[in-house]
Structure 1
Amino acid sequence: MAFTEKYGPWALIAGASEGTGAAFARELAARGLNLVLIARRRAPLEALAHELAATHGIECTAETIDLASDSAAEQLKTVSAGREIGLFVSNAGADPNSSSFLSNDPQAWLDLVKRNVVTTMLACHHFAGAMKTRKRGGIILVGSGACYGGARGLGVYSGTKAFDLCFGEGLWAELRGHGVDVLNLLLGRTDTPELRRLLESRGAPIPADLASPEEVARVGLERLPYGPVHNWGLADDEQGYAPQSAAARRERILMIEKAMADMAGSTRN
């Protein structure tokens, strides 16, 4: 099946105004998909939408939504109504706080949980349901290697990314027999404007080994059919910095699936 048949005709990208989100938008536009771009800042989002529509002759709409708001999931449903979303890229998950847990207001952490967990889960429920019915589609959850364990200043962020990892793996297991691909794209340090702003605020130098957003988008789309996990910079069967390789995590899920099927006398729902 051609890429546009499998994942088109529309893709929705949450967190699309810059960095990896904008890179996904450019890559998908070049492949011929129409786009719904989501972010909080209207000006850069609209500029990107106009650029991609003019360059690639696609339809591209920009919608400003605060993904930490209580109504974010409903707003995503509204702006995508009437469009067949064949690919959902959940990319808006960075931690803007850069602080220890107790030195910040609890509302900031609650917003992070809403953005990374609640809105992501509800959006997947909405878009995946239609994909399952159509027997095609894809979901990319852009995550972080921080999902594998907590660290100083990363407690809430790591917790949300750990949820996304386990949630994404379960979603992959449920949808893999229905023509829908799910990938947790777990990144390391990536050269985004947000990271550069953070390093500049701390007076820290820009590391030389940052991944480029363009490479992230290219590899993410390349690995989408081979979920549920891709550990950035590692081969499928390479453990590296992760507790398990992507291949080992996949095998664990399939072993659990088989054991549950044997007990229940049935396969997937």
Structure 2
Amino acid sequence: MTESTGGTGRFERYGPWALVVGGSEGVGAAFAEQLARAGLGIVLVARKPVALGETADRVRAHGVPCRVLALDLLDADATARIVEAVADLDLGLLVLNAGANTYRSRFVEADLARVQAVIDLNITRPLELCREFGARLAARGRGGILVVGSSAGYLGHADIGVYAAAKAFTRIFTEGLWLELGQVGVDVLHLVLGLTATPAMARAGLDLT
């Protein structure tokens, strides 16, 4: 049986379902709750099952359906598993909030396998997801893609140069995607929040309260 939010109207462009990748806590969870308050069904994807379940409970409290998929975006089959999990849904909005600086090192001393993981998390998987769901939205003729960026992508940084470069890539790529998909009725937005008090920032040792 296919789940349904049972509504169209104002949800026609971005609903009835939204996929939030990186939706277990912090900014991603906040997006999920705001979209749920607007009446959209939510699919949450993240690594942490406990946090996913807690966010899903808050989403469902707004009277909308919610699916959860616990996976690591660095898994080789991550994109395929996400696509399979939402194959039966009328998805109108993709929120890409996953992506982080998982490795700090002077580049000339870096472990290249860990560098590749930063690239895969911040570039490879977002490209795959934008390709898969951008094509679905283009065929649908409406919808949106929201890519959460970072202020790190505006200049070079010591010790996190690859992450900063990845975020610069994402910013330019998203601008190009906006130009392409806007021609077929799909909105694309690159959102840079700046420093925001989240669990991830707290784990990084930044007190923003």
TM-score by length of 2: 0.91
Alignment of 1:40-79 (within 5 A): 40-53=47-60, 55-79=61-85
What is the aligned partner in structure 1 of residue 28 from structure 2?
Answer: 21
- Greater gyration radius: 1
Aligned equivalents of 2:69, 2:119: Cα separation in 1: 22
TM-score by length of 1: 0.71
Q: How has the CA–CA distance of structure 1 residues 116 and 3 changed in structure 2, closer, same or farther, with 3 Å as cutoff?
A: farther
Higher-RCO chain (CA-CA 8 Å, sequence separation at least 6)? 2
Identity %: 41
What is the aligned partner in structure 2 of residue 32 from structure 1?
Answer: 39
Q: Does residue 197 of structure 2 align to residue 191 of structure 1?
A: yes
Determine helix, strand or coil for the equivalent of 1:89. Answer: strand
Q: Which runs of 5+ in 2 are unaligned?
A: 1-7
What is the aligned partner in structure 1 of residue 207 from structure 2?
Answer: 206
What is the aligned partner in structure 1 of residue 112 from structure 2?
Answer: 106
What is the aligned partner in structure 2 of residue 232 from structure 1?
Answer: none
Alignment of 1:252-267 (within 5 A): none
Aligned equivalents of 2:208, 2:48: Cα separation in 1: 27
CA shift, 1:104, in A, is 4.6
What is the aligned partner in structure 2 of residue 261 from structure 1?
Answer: none
Residue identity opposite 1:42 in structure 2: P
| Cα-to-partner distance string for 1:4-24 (whole Å, 9 max, x where unaligned) | 111011100111111100010
Aligned equivalents of 1:194, 1:28: Cα separation in 2: 22
What is the aligned partner in structure 2 of residue 4 from structure 1?
Answer: 11
Aligned equivalents of 1:177, 1:159: Cα separation in 2: 28
Residue identity opposite 2:120 in structure 1: K
Aligned equivalents of 2:208, 2:200: Cα separation in 1: 14
Q: Which runs of 5+ in 1 are unaligned?
A: 200-204, 209-269
Name the one with the larger helix percent. 1
Equivalences, count: 202
